[in-house]
Amino acid sequence: MKQFQVCGIGNALVDIDFEVSLATLERLNIAKGVMTLIDESTHHKLLVELDGIKHLKACGGSAANTLFTLQQLGAKTFYSCKVGDDDAGSFFYRDLLAHGIHTNLHEGERDGVTGKCIVLVTPDADRTMNTFLGATATFSKVQLSEHAIKNSEYLYIEGYLVAQPTGCEAAIAAREIAQHHQVKTALSLSDPNMVTYFKNGLLDIIGNKVDILFCNEQEALLFTGTDKLSDAREKLKDHACSFVITMGGEGALVFNGHEFLNLPAYKVNVVDTVGAGDVFAGAFLYGITHGYSYYGAGDLASVAASKVVSKFGPRLNQVEMKEVSELFLKRPVSA
């Protein structure tokens, strides 16, 4: 039996979520619904512009949100990441430990400023992210733990790593380590901008194939260069043994390696879509590593994602995760 169900690698960021109007996005000239990388100066200017607006601060980043979900459901996880030598970095490290997530952060010295992600949530529940990577911009192979990877059932790679040369190299190296030790691999495409501007890097990370690919419908179409989901899903078979395409209120499409499974959405009042894909991936990976069928894992993931979009913020707390488990047990699940 492996020490960890999932070892994740990704950008360690402190998330700062703001509720804003569409007019605010227009005034700030910010592209809606995608992740945009910004420099430290722009980061400071945005925070000044947003001063006084209701917000929520949390230890985050895409892979971290996925691992927190796994850990809350009862999985054992490891997270390789990089933070700065500052209060935010210490906050991030303590939060990982408090939730039982093992990490590389205790090894070596920290330097620089911890990355931040300014998340702007509009009334339509869409999320727009402006990310200052800070120290995680230099995440590299140095931060990888071969011991953690080879002692995990799955390696989970956050697609955002593709945007930085050292991060992309680290993701490729991690996938090669995993495959050398017969560890299964999972990748999230993460964001339409990652697919639009860094598709070749994502293909390099994927290599021959990953075991599980996570994406939403827009990312699937962009990645495959198609305009129909029916075509995209066939082309994704070239890159992944199995995959999940999330479709918001339309549910999700799961390919289990043999057949396609349609998962209905769990209807809720959507408040904030931040973290929905991350939580979905975490719950799905929990299911797959704990004996669930692909449909069962997807059903659990749908319930978890529906819970997180019905509140403000990218993650669930332990009480809310318990509610997810109770809701899931009440839902009829097909094979």
pLDDT digits (tens, 9 = 90+) for 213-231: 999 999 999 999 999 999 9
Is residue 165 included in any domain, yes or no? yes
User: Per-residue pLDDT averaged across 200-224, rounded?
Assistant: 98
Is residue 55 included in any domain, yes or no? no
Task: Please report which confidence band the pLDDT of residue 8 belongs to, taking 50, 70 and 90 as the band edges.
Answer: very high
More confident residue, 333 or 92: 92
In this model, does residue 109 exceed pLDDT 50? yes
Alpha carbon distances (Å) from 252 to 95, 174, 298, 299: 31, 28, 8, 9
Return the pLDDT at 111: 83
How far apart, in Å, do the first and last CA atoms of the chain sit? Answer: 26
User: Per-residue pLDDT averaged across 287-300, rounded?
Assistant: 95
Cα Rg of the chain, angstroms: 18
What residue type is 258 in one-letter code?
Answer: H
Q: How many domains does the chain have?
A: 1
Give the residues across from 14 on adjacent strands: 59, 116
Rounded-to-integer distance, Cα 146 and Cα 231, Å: 37
For residue 189, the enclosing domain spans 4-12+62-112+137-330
Return the pLDDT at 52: 85
Rounded-to-integer distance, Cα 198 and Cα 168, Å: 10
Return the pLDDT at 283: 96
Tell me which residue of 274, 21, 282, 10 sits closest to 130, measured CA to CA. 274
Range 325-334 burial, b when 16+ CB lie within 10 A, else e: eeebeeeeee
In this model, does residue 332 exceed pLDDT 70? no
Task: Please report which confidence band the pLDDT of residue 169 belongs to, taking 50, 70 and 90 as the band edges.
Answer: very high
Percentage of the chain with pLDDT > 70? 97
In this model, does residue 127 exceed pLDDT 50? yes
Q: In this structure, what CATH number is given to the domain that contains residue 298?
A: 3.40.1190.20
Is residue 237 included in any domain, yes or no? yes
SS (H, E, C) the chain: CCCEEEEEECCCEEEEEEECCHHHHHHHCCCCCCEEECCHHHHHHHHHHCCCCCEEEEEECHHHHHHHHHHHHCCCEEEECCCCCCHHHHHHHHHHHHCCCEECCCCCCCCCCCEEEEEEECCCCCEEEEEECHHHHHCCHHHCCHHHHHCEEEEEEEHHHHHCHHHHHHHHHHHHHHHHCCCEEEEECCCHHHHHHHHHHHHHHHCCCEEEEEEEHHHHHHHHCCCCHHHHHHHHHHCEEEEEEECHHHCEEEECCCCEEEECCCCCCCCCCCCHHHHHHHHHHHHHCCCCCHHHHHHHHHHHHHHHHCCCCCCCCHHHHHHHHHHHHHCCCCC
Range 140-178 burial, b when 16+ CB lie within 10 A, else e: eeebbbeebbbbbbbbbbbbbbbbbebbbbbbbbbbebb
In this model, does residue 200 exceed pLDDT 90? yes
Question: Who's near 85: CB < 8 A, 6+ residues apart?
Answer: 109, 110, 111, 112
Return the pLDDT at 275: 78
Of the spans 88-97, 113-122, 235-244, 267-276, which averages the highest pLDDT?
235-244
Return the pLDDT at 330: 64
Task: Please report which confidence band the pLDDT of residue 335 belongs to, taking 50, 70 and 90 as the band edges.
Answer: very low
Is residue 17 included in any domain, yes or no? no
Is residue 232 included in any domain, yes or no? yes
Q: What is the pLDDT of residues 28-62, one digit of tens each?
A: 999 998 889 999 899 889 989 998 887 888 888 99
In this model, does residue 22 exceed pLDDT 90? yes
In this model, does residue 19 exceed pLDDT 50? yes
Is residue 99 included in any domain, yes or no? yes
In this model, does residue 277 exceed pLDDT 60? yes
Return the pLDDT at 20: 92
In this model, does residue 318 exceed pLDDT 80? yes
Is residue 54 included in any domain, yes or no? no
Tell me which residue of 213, 175, 216 sits closest to 192, measured CA to CA. 216
What is the token pair recorded at 265? 């959405």
Is residue 243 included in any domain, yes or no? yes
Rounded-to-integer distance, Cα 110 and Cα 138, Å: 11
Note the residue count of the chain: 335
Return the pLDDT at 311: 81
